[in-house]
């Protein structure tokens, strides 16, 4: 039986292209037909790495949002109010509900206690501001659009479409 080494893993797998022997099941615990090809394993590893990077990006954004909780009254020296816990929760829920494009948004606290997310690409911009109970956004791209309302009514499907439009 010939063996193949999976690159960067140290695992040795039976070469299923050259060995159909029932002994493979006995030796390796799986039949040749049950063993993934090295190419399939590598593709799975790539997908897992991409998913991990995506989660790390999302975690970085959430960490930044959580950091706004440390801002005290008058944090800007001009009377800015603190970012309330509910605003931070709304911002984190928002980030969890949308798909992050490759370019992460600029995220910053506002002096009125809200959090703003900006995505820019060339001459296009999507900006959304989230508070304790309300939101407002505007989009400037192939068309212009703006909206505001209660957080509970926020249509994240529409938001996803606008962000996606920026990067097409």
54-98 per-position pLDDT tens digit: 567 788 899 999 999 999 999 999 999 999 999 999 999 999 988
Report the mean per-residue pLDDT for the chain: 79
Number of domains in the chain: 1
pTM recorded for the entire structure: 0.67
74 belongs to a structural domain: yes
24 belongs to a structural domain: no
Residue 37 scores a pLDDT above 90: no
Nearest to 109 by CA among 163, 70, 56, 164: 70
Measured from the Cβ of residue 94, the count of other Cβ atoms closer than 10 Å reads: 19
148 belongs to a structural domain: yes
149 belongs to a structural domain: yes
Distance CA 144, CA 124 (A): 10
Nearest to 139 by CA among 151, 149, 152, 129: 129
Per the structure, the complete domain to which residue 63 belongs is given by 40-166
Distance CA 150, CA 131 (A): 9
User: What element of type H or E holds 119?
Assistant: strand 115-121
Distance CA 121, CA 69 (A): 29
14 belongs to a structural domain: no
58 belongs to a structural domain: yes
């Amino acid at each position: 039986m010939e063996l193949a080494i999976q690159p960067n893993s140290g695992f040795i797998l039976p070469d299923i292209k050259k060995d159909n022997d029932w002994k493979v099941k006995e030796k390796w615990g799986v039949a040749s037909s049950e063993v993934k090809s090295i190419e399939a394993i590598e593709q799975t590893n790539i997908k897992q790495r991409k998913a991990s990077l995506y989660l790390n990006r999302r975690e970085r954004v959430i960490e930044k949002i959580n950091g706004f909780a440390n801002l005290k009254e008058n944090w800007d020296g001009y009377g800015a109010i603190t970012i309330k816990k509910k605003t931070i929760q709304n911002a984190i829920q928002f980030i969890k509900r949308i798909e992050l494009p490759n370019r992460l948004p600029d995220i910053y606290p506002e002096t009125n206690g809200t959090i703003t997310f900006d995505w820019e690409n060339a001459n296009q911009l999507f900006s959304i501001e989230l508070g304790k109970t309300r939101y407002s956004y505007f989009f400037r791209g192939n068309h212009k659009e703006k909206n505001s309302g209660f957080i509970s009514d926020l249509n994240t499907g529409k938001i996803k479409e606008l962000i996606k439009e920026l990067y097409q």
